[in-house]
A and B are shown apart, each in its own frame.
Chain A
Amino acid sequence: MSIGLLVIVIVLIAAAGFLAGRARARRASEGDTRALHSLVGFHGQAVFLFTAVPALLLIAVWLLVQPAVIAERVTGLLASERSEGALNLALGDVHRVAAGLDRLVAQGDLSEAAVAGLSVEGTDLRRTLGTAGVAVAGRVRGEVLTAAREYRRLTHLSARAMTIAAIALALAGLGFSLARITVEFRARNVSERFVLMLFIGSSLIAVMTTFGIVASLLVESIHFFSLYPARDFFFNLTWNPQFGGGSSLGIWPLLWGTLYISFVALLFAVPVGLLSAVYLSEYATRRMRAFVKPAIEVLAGIPTIVYGLFALVTVGPFLRDFFAQPMGLGTSSSSVMTAGLVMGIMLIPFVSSLSDDIINAVPQSLRDGSYGLGATQSETVKQVILPAALPGIVGAILLAASRAIGETMIVVMGAGAAARMSVNPFEAMTTITVKIVSQLTGDTEFASPETLVAFALGMALFVFTLMLNIVALYVVRRYREQYE
């Protein structure tokens, strides 16, 4: 039975359980449902949850554990493979051969008995598998064929066992939860606690994912630092990856580029965004606001690659021809300034839209209080509204900052890919994110420091934005303590 079908069967059993539970509760109440502790619906719900959830969890756990267990068993058959790499290749072959055999059986080209009778010498297994659309490199060895047969046997056995176990568990849950329905049974409390567990579980998934991401970054970073000295990574001032080895992989030029471009972007986006937020929330008439606010928010919906095109085709050449060349600061159309300005435009809606909401949330009573003392509108904005909204505005700016630090496409097209440390904003530079992409998409071997450095860079970026968030939380909390 396929897994989709199995899930449907279990849900159907549970749905039947819901109806049965409701009916049983109604019968237990002898016609007066008010005598029950819980509404009949809760009795049904309790039965449904106790039937479906344990069985579905069992399936999930089974599917997670099964591949590891089977691989363990099959590996024993591939005794001749000594090195880890060769073993992995052989396991890959086993998977492909097994999948090919499955497909042949499903197409009716081969019977199960014929599969059992297959031998490496008798038939050209490679061609047979090829007809099923499965490509195997080289001749299939006897060992691999045996392993593939064992693999198929175990997989089928496991699938059958899982189906039986899951349905048995569902039925057991159904029987157990139906049996305990009485007038006094607290079905509402039970099912609510059960649902609470589901909520906790769901929130844990998000948390665990974060840990998973950190762990995978960490493992590969440690791998990188075992191949490349950490001292050089953190203190070397040049970035010069060589595909033949002997690279300089210092993070500083990339970190500098990231910070410089983000700084230029924020320098542009924060004043423009904040001032337009003040205009929108304090000065604009309702009709103007209804038109301008969505218009600004359109900027947030433009894909970053389109901004990148804008940087490449319009802003870059413009800055080069009218600023960089006349001032003798450079001849490149890719520059920190280009990427920073375009990224700043992208960030305007983040700053303005959030700040606008925050300024609107400042209570009208504060405005009245200020006007009542004879303050003008601008005095009110400067001295009452902006200070009151500051924690939220800081939050908006930091959100924009983390967007800027993580931005990739605009930098590739606007600032180029040259890792350089310079204060001239009209020179091409690059950022951590761009280099992560270019190192991972290169042709080098995965286990080389030139590729693995991407994980160390990712880790550095993660730690950096984490620190930014912590600082932001600290600032906001301190400010709140002072003023609320």
Chain B
Amino acid sequence: MNDMSRTETGVNLTDIKIAARKVQVHYGANHAIKDVDVDINDRMVTAFIGPSGCGKSTFLRCLNRMNDTIPVCRVEGEIRLDGDDIYDRRVDPVQLRAKVGMVFQKPNPFPKSIYDNVAYGPRIHGLTRSRAELDEVVETSLRRAALWGEVKDRLAAPGTGLSGGQQQRLCIARAVATSPEVLLMDEPCSALDPIATAQVEELIDELRSRFAVVIVTHSMQQAARVSQNTAFFHLGNLVEFGETSQVFTNPKDPRTESYITGRIG
């Protein structure tokens, strides 16, 4: 699978934001990710699909070095963000994560007000100089997360008091507020009902105009709906990577076809 170049897959239409080459991840003795090469395009949605335990979330967490917080985890290979190796000694993971935002599987608003949740990132990174500027960032972020209309009258209310779907959009707004360049989403809809899922999917499509979005999902329909590129992981290997339409309609690998048609999973 390593010889799968961008020209073959036909996804070199836009700039490459993140380029991963020969990435290996070990959890102690467990070899969780084997030789993965993926290119994430700017202003596009890339979906990672695959059965549970295939390593797609683990790989996603490599992209902003969230795996650093797990002591037994070891990452090898090369991941470049705009051409710079993010595992270089000189890169501070804290700064990296400000550029590569993340939204988690379960909505995890902080036990603070809605306003403070969104303002958290800008505050810790010192992005704004005045209260008015911060207000503006909070408002734009909430608007981008399609939540402004619902919460504009109760910004001081606790973020944990919102519904599940609203909480997840709040978490997206929180991630957007630090103006990241890449947004990683780890199964962002798995804890949501169908209506909230539809809202978040719509939102992902809008977010694509500003950032590169990477989404891990269990739902193949979701991957087909929201993504331009799809990567299929199986047992720690990247089985297939290409344009979503091609992966879903004309998969090259028999394993991809089996998974998509529901024979393995």
What is A's interface to B at a CB cutoff of 8 Å? Answer: 363, 365-376, 379, 383-384, 387-388, 482-484
CB of B66 to closest CB in A, whole Å = 6
* 9 residue pairs A–B, Cβ–Cβ below 8 Å: A368-B104, A369-B110, A372-B66, A372-B102, A372-B103, A373-B120, A373-B121, A388-B111, A484-B158
Residues of A within 8 A of B66 (CB): 368, 371-372
Instruction: Report how far A458 CA is from B89 CA in the complex, Å.
Output: 64
Q: Mark B92-122, 1 if CB is under 8 A from A, else 0.
A: 0011111101111010111110000000110
Residue in B99, B102, B111 whose CB lies within 8 Å of A484 = B111
A371 to chain B, nearest CB (A): 6
Contact between chains at B160 and A379 (CB < 8 Å): no
Interface on B for A, CB 8 Å cutoff?
A: 64, 66, 69, 94-99, 101-104, 106, 108-112, 120-121, 124-125, 158, 160-161, 171, 174-175, 178
Q: Which residues of the partner chain B approach A374 to less than 8 Å between Cβ atoms? A: 94-99, 121, 124-125, 178
Residues of A near B158 (CB, < 8 A) are 482-484
- In the complex, the chain A residue whose C-beta lies closest to that of B96 is A374
Report the Cα distance A25→B96, complex, angstroms: 73
Q: Are B112 and A369 within 8 A (Cβ)? A: no
Per DSSP, are chain A's interface residues mostly helix, strand or loop, or mixed?
helix
CA distance A82 to B113 in the complex (A): 74
Measured CB to CB, the nearest residue on chain A to B174 is A373
Q: Give every chain B residue within 8 A of A373 (Cβ-Cβ).
A: 97-98, 101-102, 120-121, 124, 174-175, 178
Known A369-B104, A373-B124, A484-B161; further 9 A-B contacts with Cβ < 8 A: A369-B171, A372-B66, A373-B98, A373-B102, A373-B121, A375-B120, A376-B94, A384-B110, A483-B111
Residues from chain A with a CB closer than 8 A to the CB of B108 are 363, 365-366, 368-369
Give A484 to B97 CA distance when docked, in angstroms.
27
- Considering the chains assembled together, what is the distance between the CA atoms of A367 and B125 in angstroms? 17
Known: A373-B124, A374-B121, A482-B158. A366 touches B110 (CB 8 A): yes
- Contact yes or no, B160 A484, CB < 8 A: yes
Residue of A nearest to B65 (CB): A371
A363 and B108 CA atoms in complex are apart in Å by 9
Q: Which of A366, A373, A388, A482: most chain B Cβ within 10 A? A: A373
Chain A residues near B161 (CB-CB < 8 A): 484
Known: A379-B124, A383-B124, A483-B158. Is A372-B101 also a contact (CB below 8 A)?
Answer: yes
Q: Which of A363, A372, A384 has the most CB of B within 10 A?
A: A372
- Residues in A neighbouring B171, C-beta threshold 8 A: 369
Task: Contact check, A365 vs B175: say whether CB atoms are below 8 A apart.
Answer: no
Report chain A residues within 8 Å CB of B121: 373-375
In the complex, residue of chain A having the shortest beta-carbon distance to the beta carbon of B175: A373
Query: Given the complex of chains A and B, what is the CA–CA distance between A379 and B178 in angstroms?
Result: 15
Query: What residues of chain A lie closer than 8 Å to B160, measured between beta carbons?
Result: 483-484
A235 to B97, CA, bound (A): 62
CB distance A371 to B97 under 8 Å?
A: yes
On chain B, the residues within 8 Å of A368 by CB distance are 66, 69, 102, 104, 108
Closest to A391 in B: B111
**A370 touches which of B99, B101, B103, B110 (Cβ 8 Å):** B110
Smallest Cβ-Cβ distance to B178: which chain A residue: A373
Complex-state Cα separation, A244 to B166, whole angstroms: 75
A482 to B154, CA, bound (A): 12
Give the residue name and chain of the B residue nearest to A390 (CB): B111
Which of the listed residues B96, B101, B120, B175 has the most CB atoms from chain A within 10 Å of its own CB?
Answer: B120
Report yes or no: B124 in contact with A372, Cβ–Cβ below 8 A: no
Residue of B whose beta carbon sits closest to that of A481? B158
Residues of B within 8 A of A482 (CB): 158
**Residues of chain A lying within 8 A (CB to CB) of residue B110:** 366, 369-370, 383-384, 387-388
Q: Are A372 and B175 neighbours in the complex by a CB distance under 8 Å? A: yes
- Interfacial chain B residues near A370, Cβ < 8 Å: 110, 120
6 pairs of A and B residues whose beta carbons are closest in the complex: A374-B98, A372-B102, A483-B111, A374-B97, A365-B108, A369-B108
Q: Roughly how many angstroms separate A478 CA and B96 CA in the complex, as a whole number?
A: 38
Bound complex: CA A130 to CA B121 (Å): 87
Interchain CB contact under 8 A, B112 and A387 = yes
User: A residues within 8 A CB of B97?
Assistant: 371-374
Residue of B whose beta carbon sits closest to that of A379: B124
Task: Using CB atoms, name the residue of chain A closest to B117.
Answer: A369
Let me know if B104 and A383 touch, CB within 8 A. Answer: no
| Residues on A with beta carbons closer than 8 Å to the beta carbon of B101 | 372-373
A308–B108 alpha-carbon span in the complex (Å): 48
Residues of B contacting A366 in the complex (Cβ-Cβ under 8 angstroms): 108, 110-111
Report how far A15 CA is from B43 CA in the complex, Å: 79
Enumerate chain B residues within 8 angstroms of A376, measured Cβ to Cβ: 94, 124
